[in-house]
Amino acid sequence: MNKYKFRGLTITKDKQGKRQWIYGDLITVKKGRAFILPEDFLLTTAPLGNSPDVHEANVVLVEVDPETVGRYVQIEDKNNRKIYEGDIVKLKLTIEKYNKDGYFEDKKVVETIKVIKTPSILETWEKYWEGHLNIFVESVEVIGNIYEDAELLREV
C-alpha cells in the first residue's frame, strides 16, 4: 500500500446531488483519470490455477475528479481533523519583532486564512525566522476546502 493518504471528490453525484469525498490510496491511469482505493475496502482473494502462490483479487476502485485530489499533509488541526492539500485553514500566529541588534521590541497575535498547497507549507509556518521577526503558529483549524468553500477566500 501507499505510504501517503489521499482524498478526492467523486465524479458522480449521490441522490442528494452532492459529490462525496473518498479517502484512501491514489491510483492514476493514463488519460487524466484518477481512482482511489478506499481505506476501508475489503479485499477478497481466491487461488488462481494450480499454483498456491497465485491469487485472483477483487477490489473496488472509486473514480474521482483528478482536479480535487489532495494528499494528507501528515498534520492535524486543533480539532484533530486531518489536513489535506486544498484545505482552507485559519491560522493563529504570534509574531515577535526584534530590532536590528536582536533585542525584542514588540509582540502581536494575528489570525489569517491560508490555502494548503503543499505538504511542507505547514512545516515552514510552524516556526521560522524572517528578517527580524519570529513567527509561531499557535493554532491551525480547517474551515473548508477550495472545491466546496471557495467563498471563504473572498472574505479575506
Q: CA-to-CA distance for 21 and 64, rounded, in angstroms?
A: 9
- What's the pLDDT score for residue 41? 77
Domain ranges of the chain: 1-68, 75-156
Which grid coordinates are listed for 22? 473518498
- Max CA-CA distance within the chain? 78
Q: What average pLDDT is seen over the chain?
A: 83
pLDDT digits (tens, 9 = 90+) for 33-91: 999 999 887 666 777 777 777 777 777 889 999 999 999 988 899 999 999 999 999 98
Share of the chain above pLDDT 90, in %: 40
Q: Give me the pLDDT at residue 131, please.
A: 55
What would the mean pLDDT of 98-112 be, rounded to a whole number? 86
pLDDT at 126: 46
Task: List the one residue out of 16, 147, 48, 30 whose CA is nearest residue 88.
Answer: 147
Residue 156: which pLDDT band, with cuts at 50, 70 and 90? low
Q: What mean pLDDT comes out for the span 92-105?
A: 85
pLDDT at 1 over 70: no
Sign of CA dihedral 57, 60, 63, 69: negative
**CA 91 to chain CA centroid, nearest Å:** 15
pLDDT of residue 116: 86
